[in-house]
Structures are given as C-alpha cells and as structure tokens.
Homo-oligomer: A and B are copies of this chain.
Amino acid sequence: MSLISVLVPGALSMSASALAPALLEALKALLGNRVSTSESDRAQHGRDESSHTPQLPDAVCRPESTEEVSAIVKLCAINKTPIVAYGAGSSLEGALIPLQGGISIDLTGMNQILSVRPEDLDATVQAGVTRKQLNAHLRDTGLFFPIDPGADATIGGMSATRASGTNAVRYGTMRENVVNLTVVLADGRIIRTRSRAKKSSAGYDLTGIFVGSEGTLGIITEITVRLYGIPEVMAAAICAFPTVEAAIDTVIQTIQMGLPISRMELLDDRAIEAVNNYSKLDLPVAPTLFFEFAGSQSSVEEQAAIVEDLARGEGASSWRWSTDADERGKLWQARHDIHWALRAIRPGTRGWGTDVCVPISALAEVIRETRKHCAQAPFFTAMVGHVGDGNFHLSMQLDRDDPAEFELASAINDRMVHLALKLGGTCTGEHGVGIGKMKFMRAEHGDAIDVMHLIKDALDPDGIFNPGKVLPPKAA
C-alpha cells in the first residue's frame, strides 16, 4: 500500500487496495513478485486511451501461462473478486478500467509466439503478443498478420474487442481472423474454443462468442490467427474530391466491382487541415481518399487505373499514385500522422474519439448530418473513416473539464449514434462497447440484449469478469 493511498484514503484515483488479505497472500504464493499493489502499477492499470474516468484495481497480477491465469481466476472466484484483463492499454471505450476494483490481469508477460505454420497460414500466440511483434517474427516467412487497429495492441486485446482497422475492407476483422482461442472460464477451467480446421460445422461457434466479449465471459490466453502471403506489389494512391458524397460514391462503385482493395480511407477537409498544419503538407483542403492496392504488378496497375477512372467520374482531382515504397509512404503520410495531428490541436486535453458503422448507403447521410451538428461546436472536430466498411471515427478536441463542451460533445455523439442505428448501423464498428457505448446497446439490440444476459449469466454466474461493462442493466 503506497504512502499516498494511505494519506488520501477516499480519493478515487488513490484509494487503498481493498483486496482481501487472504487472497493477496494466496496470489503472492502463486506469483511471487508478479503480483503488485503498488500505486504506480495500479495507476497504470486503471486507465486507457479514452477520456473515461480512471479507476484503480486493487492489485495487478502478471501471469506467464494459461495455468497461472486459471489459478488466479480460481482464487478470485472464491471471494467473487472482479477480474479485468489488461493488454497494451489501448482501449478507447474504457473496456479495461476496473470499475469495481479487484484484479487487473496484465497479460503482457504472456508474449510467446507458440507456433507458426506457413502451410496452414496460421500462427498460435499467447495473448500478450502484440501485432507488431508477430509481424516482426513473421518477416522471413513471406507471411503477415493483417489486422491493424492503429495502436500496437496485443492479439489478446484485439480478440477481446473484435478489433479491425484500415485493412478490414480486404481481410475482415478479428471475427474473421481468429481461428481458435484458449479461454479460462469463470470457474478456472481451461477450454479451447475450436479446432484449427479452416472451416467447421461441429457445434456452436464459441470462438465467436468470446471474440468481442471484452473480457466479460472469460480470459483469452492463447489465440490462433490466420496469416496471409505478403503481396508481391503494393501501390498507394491519394485523391481529393469535391464532396464527401463523391468520395463515398467512388468507394461504393469500387466495392461493387469486387476489386480487392487493401485499404480505402477517408479524411474529411477538417482532418486534412489538421494534418497539413501538423506535418507541413500542402494537400488540397477537401475530402480525400487514401487507397492501397496489392497483388501482382499487372493487377495493381489494373486496379489503380479502374479506381482512377471511377474517381475522376465523381469529380476527383489530383490523382497521385506510386508503387515505390518511399513514395507510398509520402502519399499516405497524412493518414499515418492524423492521430498525432488531431492530438496536437489542443495540447493538454485528451479529446474524445468515437466511432459508428453503417451500411455504406447510409454513410454520406450520417457524415453530413454529424458535420452539420459539429459546426456548432467551439472545439475542433474531424472525421477519419474506414469508408469501405461504412465505419468512421469522429474526433472531438474538447476540454472534458468544461461542462458545456462536454455536454455538447455528448449530444453530438448521441445524435450520431442514434442516426446510425436508425439507418441500420451499429453504435461501434471497432472501438467496442466498454463503458461509453453501453447506453446505446438496448436501442441497438432490443430484446437480443436479454439473450446476451442469458449467456453472460450462464458463463459467469457470479459476474466476476469485467463487471459493469458491455451489457446495460437487465430489463425490469
């Protein structure tokens, strides 16, 4: 127990560890110095990348094997002590914040790549392996793991939140790229959700139930993921449009033609403005699409030529493209830098990043209406979209400590989400529910929420896994 937590016992961010002494002793016997109640450890594990209020776990455990996770869960189950899994800490909706204290299981020590099978195009890793670590390991095989949520997240965390990112338009999300999982259940039992076969009709899709469950149904400790051959040739292209609608129409036509585009990203004019300032670029301040093509030389050239035609048909100007690695990097620099460009707009504030996903036919309307609403805001807003999937992020550089700004940002977010739901979309395409999107879950799912509760109660009857997340309260 730290000095500060003794001195300020009631403060939210520095409260004393409330862990039962017997549990702490048992955890120490199990893990030695890999269990910690230090102020700094608890603080690190009490916050994520979002602006949700941090909250401290009572202790941080650092297991190194599935068996140790199982032993921790068994110990916690006795006292019904809450357990939250922690990976890279890059959650954007508070998924890892220990709302009711308890144990934060930090899985980053489980960072072994257990096997890579090039013939089967799969690899099995421990939950704490990050995507960049896996890809560095794969470098000599000619294979790669494509899912890229931006942050160097752990594969376990990406599985738990059903992550995706820029190249989901070609490769799908974690839903499509997790082959199987090893999961520790609420009673400490260890299961494997599925075989390694590419397809199976043998029973219920348990993999799918744990992918995206945000640690509320079990602790994912090992993951088998799909791998892909690194394309022979890659090309990047960039292109500005007169309107967001024109950009989206280009995207719709591209997808309908079945072109295997790797990435297809939209920055709106505000985002371009931000990144021009930050990265000293001189891009036309207009809605801009960033493309990545991959395949053989001739197929890449063919794809690029077709998309250029489509884009020009929609009034695009300034089509630039290249297959050269350096040139590609320059063309995409604005997209790569946008995260930092937006953060730099109002230093010292954390901002608010939210995402929705809609059927692509509704994308222009949701963006247009949200931009109208944003025009009233005294803070900077911009949009960055994985538009091929109908998914976009609204970034609001507000001062969360200003109640008026916070209220307006909440209203913008609420209106955007409800419009997305009305048009057949979802309250989050890839950030997850965590704390922030819980209030929209019943509007999105209706009575299906009750089915989710039935599953939660069946798998975690005492509610020890990540309590207070994902599911709104049961209907009265």
Contact = CB atoms under 8 A, between A and B. Distances in A.
A201 B164 CA distance: 9
B432 A175 contact: no
A202 B417 CA distance: 12
A391 B199 contact: yes
A448 interface: yes
A424 B119 CA distance: 13
A192 B302 CA distance: 41
Contacts of A198: 357, 359-360, 389-391
Interface string A194-214: 111111111111111101110
Contacts of A211: 205
A122 interface: yes
B228 A258 contact: yes
Contacts of A454: 458-459
Given A201-B428, A430-B199, A447-B191, A206 B452 contact: yes
Contact of A298 (B302, B357, B447): B302
A437 interface: yes
A185 interface: yes
Given A118-B256, A203-B445, A429-B200, A424 B296 contact: no
Interface residues of A, number: 97
B421 A195 contact: yes
Contacts of A471: 203
Interface string A219-260: 000000000110100000000000000000000100111101
A59 interface: no
A448 B197 contact: no
A122 B207 CA distance: 24
A193 interface: yes
Contacts of A420: 197
B206 A231 contact: no
A47 interface: no
Contact of A360 (B120, B302, B361, B390): B120
Interface string A165-207: 0001000110110000000010001111111111111111111
B426 A197 contact: yes
A161 interface: yes
A119 B360 contact: yes
Nearest to A256: B229
A205 B203 contact: no
Interface string A376-403: 0000000000000111000000000000
Given A198-B391, A426-B202, A119 B446 contact: no
Contact of A213 (B185, B204, B391): B204
Nearest to A211: B205
A405 interface: no
Given A209-B208, A426-B197, A441 B391 contact: no
B359 A426 contact: no
Contact of A426 (B163, B195, B252, B459): B195
Interface in A441-476: 441, 444-452, 454-459, 470-471
A408 interface: no
Nearest to A163: B201
A261 interface: no
18 contacts: A117-B361, A119-B256, A142-B256, A175-B208, A185-B451, A189-B450, A194-B426, A197-B391, A199-B389, A199-B429, A200-B429, A201-B212, A202-B440, A202-B445, A203-B470, A207-B208, A298-B302, A458-B458
Given A197-B426, A206-B448, A229-B258, 7 more contacts: A117-B359, A175-B205, A192-B446, A194-B426, A195-B425, A198-B359, A199-B430
